[in-house]
Amino acid sequence: MSDFKNKIKHLREDFNRYKIDFKNLPEHPVSLFSKWMEQALEKNDEANAFVLSTVSDKNTPSSRVLLLRDFDTKGFTFFTNYKSIKANDIENNNNVALNFYWPKFQRQVRIIGLAEKILDLDSDKYFSSRPRESQIGAWVSQQSSVIPLDTDFGNNMVNMESKFKGKKVERPLNWGGYKVMPKSVEFWQGRPSRLHDRVKYTISKNNWKLDRLAP
């Protein structure tokens, strides 16, 4: 164990693959995000994975990895069970943080914003595009509830498949999407000697203010 911990202490990587062109930054952060996401997708099958951080009504922070399913100039969309811990947190405090990390590019993007439920029609549209097994799984899972250690979802899946046999699987009312409307977006690019490139976009009166941050 001591050798393992010592290895962690001395792990080092030189960040020198890319840099931010501060003279040619777009006015809107989504333009740069789109460019970075497109590049990440070319080299990483899960480039849309991100960490979502929320805060409970007792001010307890909580983070988990999710998948981004859509984004535009208005925000970033993900889907979940509306009875999950994250959904309960958002119900009490819709200030959230998203963090994308793309190690092959030595980049990360930090987003702070407000999460709001999307329209039911939009949730229906995405749900209908999911594999049938995932649709049925959304009915079977009571996400974040306490269950016995020996729970076997096999029988539950079989029963639910029988219920929907020959039928379209409708979206459960407790499942749907959120859109995070950004208040700030920071782009981080690893650079040599830990003198990283950082640029932060902050919304102010419907306009984006751009600042460079010290490493």
Helix axes 132-140, 153-163, angle to 10 degrees: 110
Q: Which two tokens stand for residue 56?
A: 């409970």
Mean pLDDT by 10-residue block, N- to C-terminus, for the chain (215 residues)? 77 85 97 97 92 97 98 97 97 98 96 98 97 92 81 80 90 97 98 94 95 97
The question of whether 12 is a catalytic residue gets the answer: no
Point out the catalytic residue in the list 171, 194, 198, 212. 194
Map out the domains of the chain with their CATH numbers.
Answer: 12-122+177-212 (2.30.110.10)
pLDDT at residue number 9: 76
Q: What is the pLDDT of residue 148?
A: 84
Cα pseudo-dihedral 15, 18, 20, 25, rounded to 10? -150
Handedness of CA 17, 53, 208, 178 (dihedral sign): positive
Is residue 211 helix, strand or coil? strand
